[in-house]
Structure 1
């Protein structure tokens, strides 16, 4: 709309509310009028002096807001051309600018001046939005959101696309920004991780402000809920009770979460608020939260293992072995993508020379079967080769390499030779191996 106005001869003046300038009086007004500051000499001395003092360009007693608003209106009326004022992130305007611009908005009738402002629903601020005609912009439909993702990121796998569509809920900014936070849009396992998606700077800026305003105990409880990722209201209520209570109620009062008692679910108002809660935490805070969740979920092997892994500060073979057991269980119930995600996490936690190589190879093998896409296998197999393989890693690595040779280059002879050699080197008491179970 602003671009169209500029093309029709309007002078477009812009300002963007900033939480970092929220305590600086008239910061937004200075930003909005900066292109016109050289034109204040056209105003009557009283109005020019008031505006200059407000914007830090002159000295004198702080002017009354009404006098500043009158000066702004006079300045806009003397430009000699129609003007469009465009203000984004309206709730983050500093108080002084918000008050004056609210006065200006109510006095534009009869002037060749328009005001276009944008804000998120329910975001508190100092600007009197009653002075404007509100137009509510609905989220994109499912089809439109999917088309936007597909057109911008054609290499994205269907599983990753589905996860992003669920997280964005039709928010165009989220749809365009969230894929930037994922390292590999062609990696199907990116859709399996239970952690909230990481935010880009723009998304962090858009969703984190209301979280920052909450007391620390409430933020800590929201962090536990976000990292749990299941919406288990009973779990969060029990944690809140053990901490003295009150934080869950405060979180609900903030409007960021909703407790559905009949369903036993705690849901964030938007999935990206959940991501913002995690984004605002430190690595140590996240490790402590995961450790607490792991202790409380000891009777649920998959969630227990995942939280233990996220709480680990370095390689931990005990947790890596537990993750591999969870991967096998996931595979047996048909969750191949989950099995790959658990294997990759297990590989990252494995000490060098103690199963890391084999777990990477098993993940490469399963990933190829799940997606039918062999492009990621060479990278994982190269990591397996350089990870210091031990005796127990020989067969998984050989099996994965053989599968890739058969379905990539069609090299049957080399694949057969790899498997025969690896089987001949295996001790008779070799334990469970994912490759053998799948085959």
Structure 2
């Protein structure tokens, strides 16, 4: 293959890459996305980077357009040379990598655990020497690899490693969005002309040169390839007119013109190579033999600089591959795939053989469809959800029997939906719907279509669809029907006040008419019955059955972890609705731990958000912030829906008005667009807390009215508390009393100390004299659980404010100092400021915080310090926080410096307050 001409320009780009290597040599990890259009020179810059990486271990991969459906294909290219280090990894990560790469028949690994394994491999290798990972053509990575590499890119910090991706446009690989970028643009006019002169030493008309330079926009590959499509006459006289098609297409056309001059056998060999995404030279030659092609067919393509088959098949440029394959006729492609299928060993690589066989025909063929279905099963075992869906989709297309085709299309739709492609799944459901399905399959089709609607919008259209699915399933499979009723009820809870057709009451009534639970009932059966009672018969009637359901989901019940992970968000909302702070804490804690242990990619961020809310109410703002940031980091790395309500609530309790309103307005805009009415209640409650803390009671009253205007599960009771205080401060005593009556109905039935405590201070707010003081004292006495510490601080504040108004200044100062100290230590600055102002009015003064903010720990540093204090090792901390052990050590070094200590043992002798974050 011909060598590229020397670099023209690119001084800034090369300097940036050289500086990247310098930083990594200084043990500072670097991540970079090299962005630019096709042919602009990204690959040449990556070559320069590799040549400059002396002393590095280098692994390079390239995405291939025809490998995008092969799960972990790109990651395997990078990790394969490092797999000898796999035995050093923790067992879950080691096993996940083995399953992902087909080294074992273990169950499907979660992508999150695979990501941890890749991060562990990286960390193990960099203990010996710096590592450079280079990924070219990242826009053609399979999705699992892209997600995993993005996960790793967001977590390298203290390792001497560089991750460099080359991609055409960020939109092509959304997983890489937000990473540092190096934009590679076209060459300047002078360098473009010099490059043309280097490859065209003969006569070139100045007008032609100017046109080529202008139309190529300085794209080096275009400058090299486009002139070769013009005749000497055209070059000399300018009679050849370049078309106005996109540059990538024009470059492809340039390659195609070169292909047209090749012998038919050579073109057939190139097509066969293009049809194989692996680049296996031995496989290519076996396929070529079946086509009657020999080594002489390769020579013209090599002479033209289009392909290299030394060891591995490599095209000069990905556009060569796409040009060859994209312009071949369908019979030509089928012939190439047929030869590759015949050349593939069915025992060694049955899945790729089935894939080629499937693309070698358009005629329905049950034997091929059955092979694809078997391949889908193996892909599912390896965790390849996207590959599973692709195999099943093609199997359905090639199935001659309409009954089998319907079953396979329905299964393919389920797999495609789980792979994160709801629109494609909906199209497969349309195929299944045209086939003869039995009643159960038809009901499952309706259910999946409803689940897709819920996943896409979480809005008001999903509940009636899920309810319809449940009622179709009811006479066919009682267990599945009850699951669908619970899904419908959960969707109705999300849709909330924006749901006009199938609200929680309507779904609850339908569920009670549906099939009863079998004995013994599953936890989800108890949950469905409890929620149905709550919405059909009212809050008070629902307390007892919902308590039984909560117990079934509790840590001592020994329930199915998978069931817990799927449904935990509902019992967590129920626990908050019942003011059960112990179960509220336990459900969130267990769900988070299960999510970490299983690497549950889709559900862990929600569990972290729930756990963050628990820490917030416990007055542990640093831990809450760390968990909230972790949830956001995971969703950023995986591309899943963001989990930001805990961040909004944290900002509200802190009194950070600008930040809280930014989160609130962003969230409200999105929930209204989706029809997610529950978000309106969440927005109202959070902003009511914010404005009550800031003392802006009229604004708080407006927000609290909105939040309390609808019975959102796990929100309405909290909103009523804010409504009582805001109404009292605004002089709306009748409204405050009405809100208190609604609250008392709930808190009395719940009967917990948390419920009785907030009821007591709300009663005090609308009372006078000894009755008010008795209620304030009761609130403080009841709110002793560590899970509700922020509410105890608020009770002290309200009592102190009342005492000041009663002109009992000495007593008021005691309560207000306690409130100020507790709010200040947790970071609830607005409520702390309220306490400070009241203290000044009593003639007292608030203590000042004397710790230098520069010596305070960041949220992640604080969390690492607490885990180290509990005795966890660096690998154990890294596994829990999804970072590498080296990154843990990096943060601990900063912790030791800030805390002025030198060892982990000294952490245990420090007060808890020293480990709090900024």
Q: TM-score, normalised by structure 1?
A: 0.50
**TM-score using structure 2 length:** 0.25
Query: Hey, which of these two has a bigger chunk of helix by percent?
Result: 2
Larger Rg: 2
